A and B are shown apart, each in its own frame.
Chain A
């Protein structure tokens, strides 16, 4: 069973994403900021990260930089943000995200991305 970490400070968003992912059969864990996310990743790396941008303490960019920098995980990371501006997307890519989605993320949109990134679709 693939494990996914949702990193977001907003409970609503976490719940929303959790519902979508759990309904598709993934194991979901949550972190409310980058620090907590790093701690959880240290214990056991995840198969995919779903990361918000703006969070207290350690934001999404910084979290991804450390995740990639410490070579803790090479798992794909999806960055989720409310900003559709191109420079935000570039910043996400720069930090180490593999994919950038703008909220609200439609359930099937999210699932397709997750399924492709986890290699669960066969052509």
Chain B
């Protein structure tokens, strides 16, 4: 896919996302003009972008959206839920088109109808609210034929009134061609007034239309006095008679189907005698004779009579025109007496024959049947174009730089050279100032002085080229390591250019290498400091490298120890240690910086909830207010991404099972509107996500019964289990409490999947609920997965790592403080009973825990899930940052360990999986 299209798609998706969010916000709050403007701007930009490609379907729907938002913005129509629904539908549609473009590279023509339907729905809103008077005047301004053809949709059979403008010769030719089997079409095209600004060339469009026979340009309102004329407003109307196929025409006018009416022309409509009535109808004799011949079935006599009459009459007369048609009709359809009779009879009144009662109703061919839209566009309404000024400014700035470069590159030396150079220098100073490059002024003035004394532009040109290449290199350098090779190439190129630049003696074509870098004019734009997109893989690589760095720097203290103990050079040991602290600090900062790169705000996940909650609650007939808090809390990208699905599931559950319908809520004495709060907070090394609803809560009794019925728990557990433990049973595998499987949350995926997903990223999930009050689910996630802090403990002369997220505290417990409860041991810590387990026992190491000199045992208090357990070990060591690697190969079956980590001295640390061993 070409990069422009890729850029377009990614930008469009962002815009759509943003539009969705803004609409949600609008729905919640009062009419905020800022938000409305923002939505308008987004829709407008999106429409403008889509116009760059051949996606008329997308453009059309967005255009309608833009018009509606513009009306909202101007206060013409109010913002409403129906409007939001329509706009959201358009956004979905466009998103869908984006997907299709991405997968197939184009949009199937079949979406045209959807696009038209969406556009019509939006314009319908515009119409229903529009000031009646405005519509009326707008309608008056429409050319008569439009009105006629619009009506013709309702009362088929009317020929376009302006068909008579077509000269008779051409009509006759058209008639013959139609009789020869070609299809005739009458096109009226009323371009939008602001079409010039959209880069449309209606004249060209019409000129290029296939197989035209005749065309006319008219104006849809009287021309104003010259002084008031706005030459950039298009008030032209086009009419066209063509023999092209309807499909061809639909294809040709595919970008402006709402401005075009295509009517299939019945050949008989062309039979419009015209001319001088010559004082009125006095042809009774001839009419009587002609009808007589017709009835008698004598075409030869009729033809002769007509020819004689024609020869006798002045060709400009109405009569002559009618006779010419009569002869033509007799030639092409001699058997069609009804037609001939009507034409002859028309001579009595000298009014064109009425063909409608003869023939089948006309057919309207307008591509997607959008005739009804015609009247809705208000020509007087020219929406103010809001553009991304900053973008335009950057582009203009770049263009101006380029223009000055071109001026300086001119090889002439006219008498006004000095003035020209001064003007260029002035412009360059301004441009540099705007670019934030204040010091450039001095350099430019020096270069100007040189240029003026030398009488040539070269010094200024050299300066400008040097500047532009610097800018280019800066831009590229920012993308290291993404394009390390490219940078190297450019750098070497610029090096080869370097010697030429400063010297005045350099040839005027010293710009060669710079010229070679195409896209000169875009450099200033490129150099703007914005976010750059980097491949995830590259960041992962950085992450791995820094991980290794963290570990290998830990080798330095060991080295220092060896230097002191083994080689006895204390001085060196101290220096190594000093150096280590420096490196340690840098590495830590570096690690932090790289982690920052990977950090994403949780809004990344949260942003989809307003829409989700809105849609689901609508579907369920519940009234729910969503409160999002702490959206800017950041966490590692992987973790955030893992969070998305569990969160959606929890939210669905809350909406489906937790929150009640407004009636139920009122019956319980609660506010009719339920509240769902999703809150993110950071606490130490963890990100906490709370999902709180004020629904009916979870009844532990029901959970217990269900769990027992499904065999999740046995009878003894059923009796023993606390309410708190009971509600957490929803996380057990194969548990679903929904009475009936609904299409929302009953997808066969239970909360156990949610728990698994959270635990996969070393997170924990906790549920609290009060019947009638609501439910509170808390997900605790680590900030980052890559580097783990572990505490090193020693047991039976071996060291093990314990992830710090489990560690509550480390205590020394006197041996006599340990109580035996049945077979288990426990200790009372600050009034709480903490069961004790010896690590040796858990790992089946045949050794007793070692006490220290004061007969105290080392107990590491750990929290696993909601349980607190004391782990009896021999000794505590320091905590270290390690890169935990999962166990591979034959070791992967060892559940007791969650992974291994390499220590600074090269030894391997086994990290315990407390969940498994406890």
Contact = CB atoms under 8 A, between A and B. Distances in A.
A94 interface: yes
Interface string B386-400: 010100110011011
A112 B393 contact: yes
Given A90-B406, A98-B407, A113 B396 contact: yes
B416 A65 contact: yes
B385 interface: yes
Contact of A75 (B229, B397, B423): B423
Contacts of B423: 68, 73-77, 96, 98
A57 interface: no
Nearest to B433: A119
A28 B427 CA distance: 20
A75 to B, nearest CB: 7
B830 to A, nearest CB: 60
Contacts of B396: 109, 112-113, 116
Contact of A74 (B410, B412, B419): B419
Nearest to A77: B423
Contact of A11 (B226, B403, B424, B430): B226
B94 to A, nearest CB: 25
B514 interface: no
A120 to B, nearest CB: 9
- In this complex, the member of B412, B419, B424, B433 whose beta carbon has the largest number of chain A beta carbons within 10 angstroms is B419
Contacts of B197: 104, 106
B231 A108 contact: no
Contacts, number: 113
B490 interface: no
- In this complex, the member of A16, A93, A104 whose beta carbon has the largest number of chain B beta carbons within 10 angstroms is A93
A16 B232 contact: yes
Contacts of A12: 226-227, 229, 231
Interface size class of A (residues with CB under 8 A): 35 or more
B434 interface: yes
Contacts of A93: 403, 406-407, 410
A68 B426 CA distance: 13
- In this complex, the member of B227, B229, B396, B412 whose beta carbon has the largest number of chain A beta carbons within 10 angstroms is B396
Contacts of A65: 414, 416
B177 to A, nearest CB: 38
A122 interface: yes
B475 to A, nearest CB: 16
Interface in B365-404: 385, 387, 389, 392-393, 396-397, 399-400, 403-404
A100 interface: yes
Contacts of A112: 389, 392-393, 396
A25 interface: no
A66 B496 CA distance: 40
B392 A109 contact: yes
A84 interface: no
A93 B457 CA distance: 13
Given A90-B410, A104-B196, A98 B427 contact: yes
Nearest to A10: B231
B400 A99 contact: yes
B716 interface: no
A21 interface: no
Contacts of A13: 231
A100 to B, nearest CB: 7
B653 to A, nearest CB: 50
B774 to A, nearest CB: 51
A94 B414 contact: yes
A12 B434 CA distance: 32
Nearest to B418: A71
Contacts of B433: 119
B385 A108 contact: yes
B419 to A, nearest CB: 3
B430 A116 contact: yes
Nearest to B419: A68
A19 B909 CA distance: 77
B397 A116 contact: yes
Interface in B112-156: none
Contacts of A89: 406
Nearest to A113: B396
A13 B229 CA distance: 10
Nearest to A86: B406
Interface string A102-119: 001010110011011111
B27 to A, nearest CB: 32
B419 A69 contact: yes
B583 interface: no
A36 to B, nearest CB: 19
A16 B231 contact: yes
Given A99-B403, A112-B392, A118 B416 contact: no
B403 A116 contact: no
A116 B434 contact: yes
A121 B419 contact: no
Contacts of A121: 393, 434
A109 B385 CA distance: 11
B422 interface: yes
A122 B430 contact: no
Given A122-B434, A123-B434, A100 B403 contact: yes
- In this complex, the member of A68, A69, A75, A118 whose beta carbon has the largest number of chain B beta carbons within 10 angstroms is A68
Contacts of B397: 116
B192 to A, nearest CB: 15
B431 interface: yes
Nearest to A106: B197
A119 B385 contact: no
Nearest to B229: A12
Contacts of B420: 68, 96
A21 B789 CA distance: 64
Interface in A39-77: 65-77
B230 interface: yes
A13 B696 CA distance: 71
A117 B436 CA distance: 14
Contacts of A66: 416
A30 to B, nearest CB: 13
B500 interface: no
Given A11-B226, A93-B410, A98-B404, A108 B430 contact: no
A76 B418 CA distance: 14
Nearest to A94: B410
Contacts of A75: 423, 426
B798 interface: no
B418 A117 contact: no
* A-B pairs, 5 with minimum CB distance: A68-B419, A69-B416, A68-B416, A74-B422, A119-B430
Given A93-B410, A95-B416, 8 more contacts: A11-B226, A13-B231, A71-B418, A93-B407, A96-B420, A99-B427, A113-B400, A122-B434
12 contacts: A70-B419, A71-B418, A71-B422, A89-B406, A90-B406, A96-B420, A104-B231, A108-B389, A109-B392, A113-B396, A113-B400, A117-B400
